[in-house]
Structure formats: structure tokens, C-alpha cells
Amino acid sequence: MLGPDLPAPHELFDVDTWLRRWPSGTHRTELCRGVLVFSGEFDHRDVEIAQRAYPGRQVVLNEGGGIEIHPGNVPPPSIFKRRAHLRPV
């Protein structure tokens, strides 16, 4: 696992937590084909936080460790995975 856990609700944040957890640990945010992409080194704990921040949407942890926020229909693959039925943009 990358980085520390979030502090308990009654505890203060420290710098290490702030630098590594989503969303403050985000190195860059992009909008790609209508999907929010947060670049960083995240894990399942950050996905759980993002799911609470974006209820009803599909949150994907991509192979690069980034988080993608997709529309709430069928869970999509990462937008960065090559799909044969789509031509490059």
C-alpha cells in the first residue's frame, strides 16, 4: 500500500497524509473524453474516498495508479486501455 491511512475523524492531518491521499495527493487533474482523471499514486483506500465524493459515478483505479471518475452506468475499463472498436483520437 502507498502512503499512510487517513487519520481517524477526531485526529489531525499530518503533511505525509496530505501529500499522499486523494484528493490533495493529486499531481494533476485532467478532463479526458468527459472523464475526470486524477494523476497520482493511489490505492483502494483513495477509491473509497472518491466514491463518497462522487456518489452515483463509477470510480476506476487505473494501471498507472490514477483515479478516473466515469458516468454512473456500467463499470467501464480505464479510458487509457486500448479498445479495438474505437479509433485513436
User: Which pLDDT tens digit goes with each residue over 37-65?
Assistant: 999 889 999 999 999 999 999 999 999 99
The answer to which of 26-30, 32-36, 80-84 has the lowest mean pLDDT is: 80-84
Range(s) of the domain holding residue 53: 27-89
77 domain-assigned: yes
Residue whose C-alpha is closest to residue 67's, from 39, 30, 27: 39
Report if residue 66 sits inside a domain.
Answer: yes
Instruction: Name the domain count of the chain.
Output: 1
59 is a domain residue: yes
Alpha-carbon distance of 87 to 18, in angstroms, equals: 39
Q: Would 47 be classed as within a structural domain?
A: yes
Does residue 14 form part of some domain?
Answer: no
Helices and strands in the chain: count of H runs, count of E runs: 2, 4
Q: What one-letter code names the amino acid at 32?
A: C
Q: Do the beta carbons of residue 29 and residue 39 sit within 8 Å?
A: yes
The closest alpha carbon to 4, from 41, 52, 54, belongs to 41
